[in-house]
Chains A and B, each alone.
Chain A
Amino acid sequence: MTDALRQFLSRHPGVVRLAVVVAILIVWEIAARFFIDPMFIAPPSRVIASLGAVWDTSGVPAALRITLFELAVAFAISTIIGLTVGLAVGLQPFARRSVMPIILLLYGLPQITILPIFILLFGIGPPSKIAFGVTHGTFAIIIAIVAGVQNLKPILLTSARSMGASRWQILRWVVFPHMIPSFFAGMRLGMSGVLLGVLLAELYVSTQGIGHFTTMFTETFDPTKLFGLIAMLAVMAITLNEIVRRAEIRFSRWR
């Protein structure tokens, strides 16, 4: 019996992983129910029970929709800018050598310090969140695309050119297929950047988005609903991340 169990567990580490998560939830449940002031923390059972109430709070579904909209728009803009700039900079060795250090420098800056400027420029509505998401997402995509172009084997370009391929044909048949893995890797990094940027801006100031509700639940000491809302957002973030990760795995398989 124990041997069979041990064999089962060693073949399925996921079961043990699940058990670890459940154990953490149980410790949390006991701590929150009996040891910690309910003003500050909520047991997971009550959080799950409160999900319906959070969803019914007037404005929450709309706020989640607005946040999702901001994420989608910011991600689309980041991808377009990242792809065009990445290709323009990456395909030209001189541009790559001269411009890339500037891009890496900008990527390394702590952008959170300029968040107040974004609010001044774009207001406290969705545009400032989208803009902040774009600045967080674009650079990661640019860098991944440039890395993809950089790793293109020169012999492929030379042979395509010697066989008389036009500029467009080289792009279409040599550069694009070889860039697909790095493009999707860039999309994955860009998605986590966009999530970070949009959520930072939401938490900083917000009138309709989820930032408004996290502030409200915090200020009214309603940890149950706060945990519920954050759990919903976490699920949204995980889903978006998972979509781009799956796409990356799927489209880089041909290598």
Chain B
Amino acid sequence: MEFRKERVGAGGRAVQIGFLLVLLALWYLATNRWGVNRLLLPNPISVWHQLLDVLRTGEYLPDLRVTLTELAAAFSLSLTFGTVIGFFVSRTGYTIRVFDPLFAGIYSIPIILFLPLYVLFFGLGPASKIALGATISFFPIVLSTIAGFGNVDRTLVTAARAMGASNYHLFRYVLLPAALPVILGGIRMGFTVALLSIIGSETLASLAGLGHHIVQLAEGMDMPRMFAYIVFVVAIAALLNGIVSFLEARGRRWA
């Protein structure tokens, strides 16, 4: 059962904008009038100045490059292995019954638990983040690939075969269009969790990257800059997720 998006309407929009404004006003008042400790909550105006400063100096570039490289490596690994393994598992009902519960079972474990093992094995550098991100995002991709190719209507396959479709034609014109929407959903989810787990493992144990920088600022008690950096990272994550959702919608239409 999933949440259906509903039309928001002008009144709803007003509530949303009002909510954000009230939040900002409370934040401002809390720091400027009610004397909340600056170490816990920095002033929104100084955060804004710090954010502009971060963007102007471009000091985020090395960290951003590290994080994006790790993300690209982890995601391409999980995408390749997830779709290929998922496709071959989905070929017979028997392999689905053998492997699908296995993957689903492992997927239900919080894989972040294995981070200490990955750090021990791959070191503190990018390799452990790539490995963890690839592992975590592998499961939604492989499960959706199995579900996508596994649930193609048998009648369609039989009909295409009866009309003399070759293997390539069967794949390109029957299997792929039928399975793609499900697979794309899994790939988008895999991308989101890969991004999350990479930023997360950078926060927990690393030498470089966006998550690492936030922790460094936190440990230096440089609160305004840390908040600015958090805003920056959240914006980057939202941007990347937005791009992937857009590509997913495009891919669905193509199929």
Contacts and interface: CB of A to CB of B under 8 A. Distances in A.
Bound pair (A, B): yes
B112 A199 contact: yes
Interface in A212-251: 214-215, 217-218, 221, 223, 226-227, 230, 233-234, 237-238, 241, 245
Interface string A32-44: 0000000011000
Q: Which among B8, B120, B219 has the highest number of chain A CB atoms within 10 Å?
A: B120
A181 B98 contact: no
B108 A238 contact: yes
Interface in B26-81: 39-40
Interface stretch (A76-84, A98-106, A155-163): A98-106
B196 interface: yes
Interface residues on B, range: 35 or more
Contacts of B251: none
A40 B121 contact: yes
B234 A237 contact: no
A242 to B, nearest CB: 8
Contacts of A237: 108-110, 113
A196 B237 CA distance: 19
Nearest to A97: B12
A97 B3 contact: no
Contact of A108 (B11, B15, B200, B238): B238
A114 B230 contact: yes
A120 B3 contact: no
Secondary structure type dominating chain A contacts: helix
Interface of B: 1-4, 6-9, 11-16, 19, 39-40, 94, 97-99, 101-102, 105, 108-110, 112-117, 119-121, 195-196, 199-200, 203-205, 211, 214-215, 218-219, 226, 230, 233-234, 237-238, 241
A17 B204 contact: no
Given A17-B99, A147-B2, A110 B233 contact: yes
Contacts of B105: 238
A54 interface: no
Q: Which among B12, B211, B234 has the highest number of chain A CB atoms within 10 Å?
A: B12
Interface of A: 10, 13-14, 16-17, 20-21, 40-41, 93-94, 96-102, 104, 108-110, 112-117, 119-121, 143-144, 146-148, 150-151, 181-182, 185, 192, 195-196, 199-200, 203-204, 214-215, 217-218, 221, 223, 226-227, 230, 233-234, 237-238, 241, 245
A113 B203 CA distance: 8
A98 B12 contact: yes
Contacts of A16: 98
Contact of B199 (A13, A104, A113, A148): A113
A108 B230 CA distance: 14
Contact of A218 (B7, B120, B234): B120
Given A150-B3, A203-B115, A115 B203 contact: yes
Contacts of A200: 112, 200, 204
A245 B9 CA distance: 37
B9 to A, nearest CB: 6
Contact of B98 (A20, A40, A41, A97): A20
20 contacts: A13-B98, A14-B101, A93-B6, A97-B9, A109-B238, A110-B196, A110-B233, A112-B211, A114-B230, A115-B203, A116-B214, A117-B218, A144-B1, A182-B1, A199-B113, A214-B116, A218-B119, A218-B120, A234-B113, A241-B109
B222 to A, nearest CB: 11
A204 B109 contact: no
Given A120-B40, A203-B112, A112 B196 contact: yes
Contact of B11 (A41, A94, A234, A245): A94
Contacts of B234: 109-110, 113
A136 to B, nearest CB: 10
A17 B16 contact: no
Contact of B1 (A17, A185, A199, A245): A185
A101 B8 contact: yes
B94 A10 contact: yes
B4 A112 contact: no
B77 to A, nearest CB: 19
Given A13-B94, A20-B99, A148-B1, 15 more contacts: A17-B101, A98-B15, A99-B19, A110-B200, A113-B203, A116-B226, A144-B3, A147-B4, A150-B4, A150-B6, A185-B1, A200-B112, A203-B112, A230-B114, A237-B109
